[in-house]
Every structure is written in structure tokens, then in C-alpha cells.
Structure 1
């Protein structure tokens, strides 16, 4: 991986990238279903979410979900290549062709299952949870994740490795400022980045940001590296522009795309960043 020594800009994601903590998942689903018609089935829904993450459900990491039709979509990175129902039943070829032919089948129209947060989003759509309730549950669990009894764990090795990077380092997250800033400060990384963008609208906002950074640094995309856990948001846009990608996730993915590097843990991320800090 000689290209690592040519990297001049690294774009980091926040959630699932600078910390890894999925303990929020059950509480988030509880807050989401509390007071709804599904309250009595919270335990079953929590188990279903765990099955999705563990590759034991028809819906899996790396696939797309069509919330209107409630279809799960296999894909090739550009178009849907197959579809099944939530229960795993296959969709017949004629129905698939009429709905997902190349004329209509751009997968960007659907929901990518990239991490635990997106699993909750899909479940919220599947069970028809109203938007106000979704926002309330999101803000509630985000606040709880910074409280002492249920707080996320900051990873000192990653923080140290980022602080020692000699290249330009930026943070771009879809988290809104009202929660993102608190997380960045809690993790102790608020002073480590040359630029921080909250509410980044990834994947759509990432190409413009990459081009902006390339112009500022007078470099090409091949000298840029994006690190994130949600491949559709964090990696696809950068790879399409010619940049390099690191997917950090403990999960198995059904996405056929190949990333430059796959890391499973923050310890592995710290080790990778340490290699970038070594003299060429």
C-alpha cells in the first residue's frame, strides 16, 4: 500500500469511526417503539435488529431497502440486481423488472443499510413510526450516550494517532451540530481537525467537499483518503472521484464493492494512522 505515503488529506467520519459502541441500539429502539402499537413487541424488534447486524436476517449490512415497496435490494453499486421481501421471499422476475429496470432502478433512491444507525432508520420506516417520534428518540439516545452510566468510550490511541498526523485532517459527519459538537468534545478531538463539518448531507454533500479540499491543497483525489463505517455515505463518493477508502466496521457486508482497506476495530485504525505518521 505505497499509496498511503502519498496521502495529503484524510476525511474522517464521526459515529462508528472515531468511536465504536453499539450498546445504544436496544435503547434507541425502545425509545422509538415506546408508546406505539409496537410497544409490546420491543424485545422481538430488538432481536430482529441484532439479526440484521449479525448477518442472520434477509436485510443485511451492505444492501438497500425500498421503504415504499418494503423490498430489500441486492445491487452492483449502481443498479439493483435482485430483490426480496422482508421475510426473505424472492420477488418474481417480472415484478423486479418493472420496478428496478435500469431506467428506474438507481439505488440512490433507496436506503442503504450501512451501520447500526441506519438499521434503526430502516426499522422505523418498516414499522411506520412517525417522524416526530423518530427525532425525539434520536435526540434522547444521543443525550444518553454522553451520560456517565451509559457513555461511549473515547479511544485514546486513535485520538493520539490523529493528533500526530502530518497531513491535513478533516471531520465530516451527518450528525447535526446540536449533537455532533457534544460528541466531538466528549471524545476529546475537537481541537485535532483542520476543519469540522456537521450536518454534512453525505453522500450528496461529500463530492463538493472533496473538490473543495483538492482545490485548497492543490492535489488530486488520489492523494485523499476517506475513513468511515457507512460505505454509501463515506466511501462511495470518494472512490468515484478517484480517492482512496478505508471501511471500518466489525460487520460482514453484502456490498460487492471492494475498498482499499477494511478495518474491524479502533485498535486497527490507530495502527493504520500510526503508519501514516512514520517517515517515508
Structure 2
């Protein structure tokens, strides 16, 4: 694993699902959303969320969700085109229907089409299916919960030391996340990772702007594509854009995948495998 870092000069990290572990905050978010529903559907809502979390539902991390059509989209991560459309009950659309409604590259606007990139989007997707319009207030309530004594982030032993060692080797470390600046700083403080990164890019709106941000970072730090590594748990958001540009990538994926490792792509169950 360590050989992939040998000639690297710039390491770009994702935050959620990459630099900390655990799902308690996602469960809290789901329960907060659930309480907005009528009592007779709350159990069904939470059961579907649990199924999605365990990978036993049509809603899965790595897909996208069309809020208005209430369908799940499988995306070609290298082209950002739709390869499969599934309705909530598992019904699969035919190719002609896909071409009619999704003829072009998908535009992730985070309102109508959302990339289910991490655990935050599983409760959101199930909530939208059940007709909940206001998910944001539940998201804010969850963020507030995450800074109380009742919640404790699962920090990854050895992570801070490893990132600092990368910097001691002359490498630039950048945090690139969709979370807003206030949330990022709060999480980093909780994880004891504040002031560890050379550069922080928040509210990144991945995957829509991932390629542009990567190019800007390469220009800013005067590095070549092959000298950059992107580390993250979302193939569409962080991995595919890196590979398209000729960068290297480390994909954090705890579940089975059909992807094959190459000279530019390494697959790990968790980030700690990078520094052990």
C-alpha cells in the first residue's frame, strides 16, 4: 500500500466516511426525520432506512436519487451517465425509457438529483420517498447533537500521526469536503485534527465541481496529475474524477466491489490500512 505514496506530492482527503467512523449520527438523523411522519408509517420508514444502511435495499450508497421521479439511478462514474433506473419497488426501466428521461450527463444539483455519497443521504432519500419536504432542519438538529456530550465521534487511532508524517515527508495534505466550514472545523476539533491539514476546501459540491477543484489544486501547488492521490469513500465524488484526470486514488469500500485494483487505484476497507 505504501508504494502508492512514494512519488506523491499532494494528498486530497474526503471527510465524512473517510476520516471518522460510526453511524450513530446518521441513525439520529433518521429518527429525527421519522418523527415528522404519522405514527402508522414510522416503523416502516425506519425499517427501510436500516435495509438501505445494510445494503439490502434499492437505495444504496453509490447510486443517485431523482427526487421528483422517486427513482434510483446507477451512474457510470467515469461518464456520469445513467446506466440503470430502478423504481422504489425494484422495477427496472428499459433502455429506451432511460434514454428518454436521462439522455445526457447527470447534473447533481443536490435538490432534484442527489448523489447518495455517504450515510447522510440514506435517511434523506427515504424521507423524500415518504413525502418529507423539510430535511434540512433535521440535519441541523443532528449537527447540534454531534457537539453535545451525548455524542462521541469514533476517531481513528494513528490517523493524526500518519497525516503529520506525510507532511514531514514534504507532502501537501488537503481536506476536500461537501460539509460547510463551520461543520468542518467542529468535526476536526472533535477528532483532534484541527490545524493538521495544509489546506481545507469546504462546501465543495462534489461531484459537480470535483474535477475543477482538482485542477485548481494542481495549479496552486504546481504538481502533476501522477503526483496527486485522492482518498475517499465515494467513487463518483472522489475516485472517478481523480482517475479521469490521471491521478491516483484510494477507494475506501467496506463492502464487496467488482472494481479491480490497478497501479493507480487501491481499494481498502478503512483508511487505517493506508498507514499500518
The two structures share one fold, judged by TM-score above 0.5: yes
- Alpha-carbon spacing, 1:53–1:33, altered in 2? closer, same or farther (3 Å): closer
Alignment TM-score, normalising by the size of structure 2? 0.86
2:213 maps to 1:214: no
Measured against aligned partners, the alpha-carbon deviations of 1:143-168 in whole angstroms (never above 9, x if no partner) come to 22232332112223111111111211
> Any conservation in 2 of the 1:25–1:116 contact (CA below 8 Å)?
yes
How many pairs align? Answer: 265
Unaligned runs of 5+ in 2: none
The aligned runs of 1:21-170 (5 Å cut-off) are 21-37=22-38, 39-77=39-77, 78=79, 79-100=81-102, 104-109=103-108, 110-130=113-133, 133-165=134-166, 166=169, 167-170=171-174
Which residue number in structure 2 is paired with residue 172 of structure 1? 176
Kept in 2: contact 1:247–1:261 (CA 8 A) = yes
- CA change 1:155–1:70 in 2 (3 A) is same
Give the Cα separation in 2 of the matches to 1:268 and 1:33. Answer: 36
Cα deviation, residue 192, structure 1 = 0.9
Could you list the runs of 5+ residues in structure 1 that have no partner in the other structure?
A: 272-280
| Superposition map of 1:202-241 within 5 A | 202-241=206-245
Bigger drift between 223-232 and 62-71 goes to 62-71
CA distance in 1, matches of 2:9, 2:50: 38
71-80 or 220-229: bigger deviation: 71-80
| 3-state DSSP of counterpart to 2:84 | strand
TM-score w.r.t. length of structure 1: 0.84
Structure 1 residue 257: Cα displacement: 10
More helix by share: 1
CA 1:188–1:249: 2 relative to 1, 3 Å: same
Structure 1 runs of 4+ aligned residues shifted over 4 Å read 252-259
